[in-house]
Amino acid sequence: LAAHRREESRGAHTRADFPETDDSHWGKATSVISMGEDGSMDISYASYPEIPKELRSLLDADDLHEGDRA
């Protein structure tokens, strides 16, 4: 259900009808799937929490590169 709602391509999740990555809309929340009282599947979104300032400074460091592991 969550993959069907995602209207973009990202990593291993690719869609021919939405080939572009959309950082302005996606990647800001996680999908929450639950079963309604009638047995139907419901989807909602929970925003990611703000990254604490002291951790954000690590992500912004010039010597930190995407894919690096400590």
Q: Residue 38 above 80 pLDDT?
A: yes
Q: What is the pLDDT of residue 39?
A: 94
Residue 30 lies in a domain: yes
Residue 67 lies in a domain: no
Residue 11 lies in a domain: yes
Structural domain boundaries, residue 27: 2-59
Q: Between 59 and 21, whose confidence is greater?
A: 21
Q: What is the pLDDT of residue 69?
A: 47
What are the C-alpha distances in Å from 41 to residues 1, 7, 17, 32, 37?
8, 19, 24, 10, 9
Q: What is the mean pLDDT of residues 29-54?
A: 87
Which neighbouring-strand residues pair with 29? 47
Q: What is the pLDDT of residue 10?
A: 82
